[in-house]
Amino acid sequence: MSGRQTTHLATRLMTAQALVIAVGAIALLVTAAAVAPGLFHNHLGEIGGDSPAVAHHAEEAFASSFAVAISVATAVSLMAAGLVSWFLVRRLARPVEELAAAAESVASGTYDVTVPDAAFSSELQQLSSSFGHMAARLAETESSRTRLLADLAHEVRTPLATLEAYIDALEDGVVPNEPAAYTTMRSQVSRLRRLATDLREAAAANEHALNLSFAAVDPGEAAAGAMAAALPRYAAKGVSLDMPAAPSGLVVRADAERLQQVLANLLDNALRHTPAGGHVSVVVSHDAGGTTDITVTDNGEGIPRDHVAQVFERFHRVDPSRATNDGSGSGLGLTIARAIITDHGGSLTAKSAGLSCGSTFTVALPSQPATKAI
């Protein structure tokens, strides 16, 4: 910042107003002094004021009364103009000064600021409202960043600790140098790689930078493809997976690969929270409101009612003590899935009657006519 001392906005505005008023007053005085006496002399001659003494006396009286009237009028006008200008300047400068102070606080990292209610004009009110919204968004972003760093540190800690323990055990000869040890370490490395990939995907999704390639997609075929890819994992765990026949002629405008990714995340999530012997179903239907719904329903662990709205947050877990120690998920799948569907102009919602009651995730996408080129 420059060391030069700057002048307050109110001082500058008042100086400018005073200058305008002074120029106006001088212009009035000069014009009146130059024009009025000549006009008076002419009119006096027209009414027959031929006597020099009478004319001289009348002109002196006019000049005296004119000077007094102009002086009083000028003084009153200057005072009135000054008071009005001072009032307007204060009404204008005060919210600007308060906004400047709030901006300085935000710049220093303090986002909980009081934004002035600048009701003086619609422009200032809009500026004040926009600044308040910006401060709130910055506070939300900072809070989200802090939570993300804390959650990320928590997620990375377990695989790193496992790798460190195995390396130390191998060096000390506590764990035999066998394929099983390397398999465990590779699984932890894969978990870290998956976490890094999902973090990159989540950041791109939140910034709407996924570079989606839209085309006409049959939602039934997309759901069937995701099911086919997930069936081996379901069979290995002993969880059944089925899908009734989808209605024919349904078309959605979507990125086929990203839609498959969303459905894969939902199926993986259902598998993680459904015990052996459980059941997961996928249903594709057409809603009367003009949307195509793809629902994934399981009869597994369920979600507490007060956690339903939070399951799409990064690294959120219903039971923190079960923090993916099996490496089965990064905690970002649902976050990424919702961001992708939002970029499709649709919605992804969760519903559950509570713990041990299963859960349902619904992807809703705008339907398109089957014959419409997309």
DSSP string for residues in 311-369:
TTSTT--SSGGG--TT----S-HHHHHHHHHHHTT-EEEEE-SSTTS-EEEEEEEEEE-
In which band, very low, low, confident or very high, does the pLDDT at 330 lie, cut at 50, 70 and 90? Answer: low
What type of residue is 21? I
- Residue-wise pLDDT tens digits, 279-328: 999 999 988 778 999 999 999 988 888 888 788 876 665 554 444 444 44
pLDDT at 347 (0 to 100): 93
- Can you tell me whether residue 61 is helix, strand or coil? helix
Give the number of C-alpha atoms closer than 13 A to the C-alpha of residue 73, restricted to the C-beta side. 12
- Residue-wise pLDDT tens digits, 225-240: 999 999 999 999 999 9
- The per-residue DSSP string of 140-186 comes to HHHHHHHHHHHHHHHHHHHHHHHHHHHHHHHHHTSS-SSHHHHHHHH
Averaged pLDDT for residues 136-161 = 74
Mean pLDDT across the chain: 78
- Residue-wise pLDDT tens digits, 12-45: 666 777 777 777 777 777 776 776 666 666 666 6
Q: Terminus-to-terminus CA distance in the chain, angstroms?
A: 54
Sign of CA dihedral 57, 59, 63, 66: positive
Instruction: Judge residue 119's burial from the number of C-beta atoms within 10 Å of its C-beta, 0-12 exposed, 13-18 middle, 19 or more buried.
Output: exposed
Measured between alpha carbons, how far is 65 from 332 in angstroms, rounded to an integer? 88
Measured between alpha carbons, how far is 308 from 350 in angstroms, rounded to an integer? 6
In which band, very low, low, confident or very high, does the pLDDT at 136 lie, cut at 50, 70 and 90? Answer: confident
Measured between alpha carbons, how far is 134 from 118 in angstroms, rounded to an integer? 16
Q: What is the DSSP letter of 119?
A: T
